[in-house]
Structure 1
Amino acid sequence: MKSLFDENYIGTMKLKNRFVRSATWENMTTEDGHMTEKLFGIYDELSKGEVGLIVTGYANIVEEEQPNPGMMGIYDDSFIIEYQKLTSQVHVNGSKIVMQLAYGGTKTTHNVGQRVIYAPSEVCERGTKTLGKAMTKDEIDYIVRAFAQAGRRAKEAGFDGVELHGAHTYLINQFLSPYYNRRDDEYGGCLNNRMKFLLDIYCETRAAVGDDYPILVKLTASEFFEGGLTFAETREICKKLEQVGVDAIEISGNIHGKANTLVGETLDGHKIHEEGYFYEYGKVISDEVDLPIITVGGLSDINTIEEIADKTKIQCFALARPLLAEPHLIKRWKTGDRAPVKCEHCSKCRTRRGNFCVVHNKR
């Protein structure tokens, strides 16, 4: 039986346990994406709370693209010095930190109409109804280079790796999706073509950061709707990512914010669980690829997490909302205190003043 407090590796990155703070949009930066003292404090508390790996809230890679206010930026070199302070304070406490890189695209209602929003094709995002501009080849190359330069900056800032956000209907996910990607060039059509945008980003980023720098990819297990990306296709994407040298894959799902209403249902061949919504999908992938797999979604009970760890090859377990309520939760579990988490799963964390627990951790 593997312990949740075992040391383990993602590529060359050594982690002190199997717990991950999954990327959480804090909505606490300055207007242009720079750090604030409040945000420094959040990451300091997480690292003091014994989180093995912290994944930052998603960071925008080009200045003109901001799917949500208050999100971190990594679009120019001005961010490097302040992020060096961030990574140093996390490392002092023995945690590792990875920056999540993203282009949000049409999954946004923020400042729509005031900026150009890229998409693979002119297809409205199903939730936001936002319509984007179908990208030219030059625009694709521009975004690919922007991801790579963001990776370079993250490495110079002392981050232990980067995560490419390819889930939740953001731009990479839309290129992978046959519903959103209606292109008839080398980036559209068959799955191999739809993968090209992600693979171009990975390869360009790898060239910018070197062979030994950890690059993770976050994917959706399935889009869970007719005509969308299927779990069978995601499994093939994971096999390709293993071939090209990705260091770990985080498996989420495109029912963001609605998974708890679907608990017990079987979607695209597998069951949605109350604890670990998507772990069955992660289990299948962990059996098929020789890479660390991270499962995320609905995890809050250490006993259940131990059961999943024992019966699957899943390596790491990512939490978000429970750590908003208790940033020192992992430290508490390490001491043997298994009392229920304080998080009440009320999903009231998103406020106009930032994203935080309004019940137990008021700001």
Structure 2
Amino acid sequence: MTKLQDSLTLPNGTVLANRIAKSAMSENLSNVTHEPTAVLINSYKEWAKSGAGLLITGNVMIDNKALGEPMNVVVEDHRHFKKLQEWAATVKGTDTHLWVQINHPGRQAMDQINSVLKAPSAIPLKSKSRKKATTKIPKALTDLEIQDIIKQFGNTAKILKEAGFNGVQIHGAHGYLVSQFLSPYTNVRKDEWGGTFEKRARFVLEIYKEIRAQVGPDFPIGIKLNSADFQKGGFSEEDSMKVIELLSEAGIDLIEISGGTYEAPAMMMGNRKQSTKEREAYFIDYIEKARKVTKTPLMLTGGFRTVSVMQNAIASEKLDIVGLARPFCLFPNIANEILTESRDTFPTDINKSGVKSIDGMMNIIWYEAQIKRLGLGKLPKLKLSAWSVFFNYLFLILKFKLTKK
């Protein structure tokens, strides 16, 4: 029977020390030049002590002109290479692996900080989160631009390998560009990149092939993939299963399952059914089906808070890695506490403002603020004021816009 402390061998031979992983979270801790800052690096120094088998960074952008958040790290060349090496070295001397999640936001870029939005098709975002609803219509990517983005993914992965990171994860979920290409709701193209499922899936397969060509067979490549978009006319569970089969056949090393977009944020709240909340794992029904179509290691993220639930999930062998995100913000030593059974549960309730529109943003920025505290050498603050987080975030946006002028 598989246990949380058991090691895991990936398809390319890489061995992870245990079955606990930090899933990607937005840190928003770069600067106006989009390099890794000391605060960001220090937060990973702390997480490197957590005992996790795998840490996956928040999304790193492949293009300086396509930002998901104002303070994203961007890796498009070697200009910040020394800082990248310093970031990669945070896990040196431990059994923890550090992978970088690489991403392009597509239409889900913040229109407040991006002059032009690009997407598979000219369909605007209608969001209720900090990526506010916008009337800005994205420009449909040309074939040449698509080919360039695919090469950028490979180039970014190669630079990260050279810097010393242990692997990369393609962000193919949550409504970002890869997810947009997969969805018939956001991809209404009539060329070789849209229309049929095979054409919509071509983009992610070409990205994987390009990365593999640039990093070689021994460097792990994973993907974060939606179980579904939870939107009418969007990426379906059936389509998702087909993508899993295609990527597994292509040789991908790890598939992390999540779900939703910023228009339907299931990744933050699950499907809200009481039964789902009680069992904790938001997408467990899906991963049971996915297990039947692939032998590729599966990582499930979303809702895990209780050690016994994590243990039972791994013991069932329906998934191979328990992914945790928000608990890492409030319990930075979490994997050690899980493996030694020194703590049973890891609650992650946020301190709300009472204003619905602001509290929607708290699902991201409140946890970013906790990561910043970690990077500054401070302990997590469970009663951190939602209002102070909100106004600090507004100041950050204003400062970014003024500096970029």
TM-score with structure 1 length normalisation? 0.92
Structure in which a larger fraction of residues adopt strand: 1
Match of 1:193 in 2: 199
Offset at residue 157 of structure 1 (A):
0.8
Which deviates further from its counterpart, 77-86 or 251-260? 251-260
1:214 equivalenced with 2:220 (yes/no): yes
Distance 1:265 1:225 in 2: 20
Q: What do you get for the CA RMSD once the two structures are aligned?
A: 2.3
Superimposed CA distance per residue, residues 158-181 of structure 1 (whole angstroms, 9 cap, x where no aligned partner): 111110101001001000000100
Match of 2:382 in 1: 359
1:94 equivalenced with 2:99 (yes/no): no
Offset at residue 351 of structure 1 (A):
4.6
The letter of the residue matching 2:74 is: G
Selected match of 1:150 from 142, 149, 156? 156
Selected match of 2:365 from 350, 354, 358? 350
Match of 1:18 in 2: 19
Distance 2:68 2:348 in 1: 27
Match of 2:295 in 1: 290
CA contact (8 A) 1:73 1:79 kept: no
Distance 1:354 1:80 in 2: 26
SS for the counterpart of 2:80 is helix
The letter of the residue matching 1:105 is: G
Match of 1:119 in 2: 119
The letter of the residue matching 1:304 is: V
Which deviates further from its counterpart, 24-33 or 167-176? 24-33
Match of 2:171 in 1: 165
Distance 1:187 1:272 in 2: 38
1:322 equivalenced with 2:337 (yes/no): no
Runs of at least 5 residues in structure 2 that lack an aligned partner in the other structure: 128-132, 352-361, 372-379, 390-405
- Distance change (3 Å), C-alpha of 1:261 and 1:314: closer
Offset at residue 91 of structure 1 (A):
2.5
CA contact (8 A) 2:267 2:302 kept: no
Structure in which a larger fraction of residues adopt helix: 2
Selected match of 1:335 from 327, 332, 340? 340
Distance 1:194 1:61 in 2: 21
- Distance change (3 Å), C-alpha of 1:273 and 1:218: farther
Offset at residue 224 of structure 1 (A):
1.3
Distance 1:285 1:342 in 2: 28
Distance 1:291 1:353 in 2: 31
1:307 equivalenced with 2:307 (yes/no): no
Offset at residue 349 of structure 1 (A):
5.7
The sequence identity of aligned pairs, in percent, is 29
SS for the counterpart of 2:55 is strand
Match of 1:264 in 2: 273
Structure number with greater CO (CA < 8 Å, separation at least 6) is 2
CA contact (8 A) 2:308 2:344 kept: no
Runs of at least 5 residues in structure 1 that lack an aligned partner in the other structure: none
CA contact (8 A) 1:60 1:72 kept: yes
CA contact (8 A) 2:2 2:317 kept: no
Superimposed CA distance per residue, residues 322-345 of structure 1 (whole angstroms, 9 cap, x where no aligned partner): 110011011112222133225335
The letter of the residue matching 2:26 is: W
- Distance change (3 Å), C-alpha of 1:18 and 1:258: closer
Which deviates further from its counterpart, 199-208 or 278-287? 278-287
TM-score with structure 2 length normalisation? 0.83
SS for the counterpart of 2:83 is helix
SS for the counterpart of 1:153 is helix
Distance 2:305 2:75 in 1: 31
Match of 1:46 in 2: 47
